[in-house]
Amino acid sequence: MMQISIWQKYSTEEQNNLNFKRFNQSWNFGLLGGYIIGFILVREFHNDLIALVSAVTMVFILIPIGFFVDSEKKLRSYALNLPSQVQLDKKKFLKNKVEEYDSLLKKPEESFSKLGKNSNLYLHIAIPAIIAWVLNLGYTTSKSIFNFNFPYNLKDATIGSEWRYLFVFAQQLLQTIGLNLIGPLNLRKKHRLVQVSLLFDLIMIIGMAIFGNIYYIIVATIMMGFTTGLKQGLVMKINFDHSSYTGDSKYINIGEIVAGIGFGITPLWLGVLINSTSYHWSYFILSVLSAGVLLFYLIIMKKIDLSSTTHNIKGEVRSKRIGEDEE
């Protein structure tokens, strides 16, 4: 992820959008393909262990690829020593953008809508990074609980275990749609969508805890894949913009650590909970967590004027880019 952030700083808007799109497509298609393969393996061999062993084997096969990924230092060095024609194109791009920003300054009432849609201005640094980390913890914990509980859901509904892969496939497909949908939107629309998503998720999870209907739980879990994609889209852009603007990888690194806590720690305490009581209690716990995330998000975002903050950021980045161009 840090490599994408580094290229964001030295690329044009079109290149950034393409890089971000390909990055999202790569891991999403990988997950979707894996779920289909898992379904086929379990369906054909009637053995879940085969699918699990195949997944672990694939992970180990992919490890050597990491040795061919360029380091952050090497990427920065390469970007700063691009061929002369590329540097010339970049300077022309910067000059055009400065002229565009100057024209927008004369019409501030129109500037946010124009800049917020397809702009490489690090607009997401208007939102504190801690918002991204809390949202990240919330949706990774939620998804971990849902996926961990799926086998128990299917068992209670007397549905074969192989169908878990198709249900999770549907969940991930909706997540991919949400992720791609929120990407090109301006900052205020992203904020509103995430706000609605958090409220929607809380209502769905409370319904899981109170009613406990197994079919409702399965459908709600799949539907919340879409809202997860919306939240993930905002989280990724906040982390990318903070890291690219400051040149510090800590924002992405902390985001990955938080995701590791959500995906890695949750199954541990959830296994203990299910072993001693019932998986239904996890939905009560998740309701409290989701309410806390929503409350935190509303409190922090209420203090941020996205319109005025965007203008300030625009001016800061404009000055920064002029300085980079002169250098």
Tally: H helices and E strands in the chain:
14, 0
Residue 130 CB-half CA count within 13 A: 6
Contacts 24+ apart (CB under 8 A), 296-303: 296/134, 297/131, 297/134, 297/135, 297/194, 297/195, 297/198, 298/195, 300/128, 300/130, 300/131, 301/127, 301/131, 301/191, 301/195
pLDDT along the chain (327 residues), means of 10: 55 61 68 76 75 73 68 54 48 47 44 43 82 94 90 83 83 90 87 95 94 89 93 90 81 89 91 89 95 95 71 46 45
Give residue 53's pLDDT: 74
Give residue 91's pLDDT: 47
Closest by Cα among 305, 278, 310, 295 to 131: 295
Structure tokens at 228: 């997860």
Give residue 55's pLDDT: 72
Token pair 């390909």 is found at 22
Closest by Cα among 304, 287, 327, 257 to 90: 327
Domain layout of the chain by residue ranges: 2-81+128-303
Element of type H or E holding 194: helix 187-211
Q: Taking the mean position of all CA atoms in its chain, how far away is CA 134? A: 12
Residue 310 CB-half CA count within 13 A: 24
To the question of pTM greater than 0.75 for the whole model, the response is no
Question: Which amino acid, one-letter code, is at 229?
Answer: G
Burial class of residue 327 in the structure, from the number of CB atoms within 10 Å of its CB (0-12 exposed, 13-18 middle, 19+ buried): exposed
Gyration radius from the chain CA atoms: 22
State the architecture of 2-81+128-303 in CATH terms. Up-down Bundle (1.20)
Q: Can you spell out the DSSP letters for 45-69?
A: H--HHHHHHHHHHHHHHHGGGGGGS
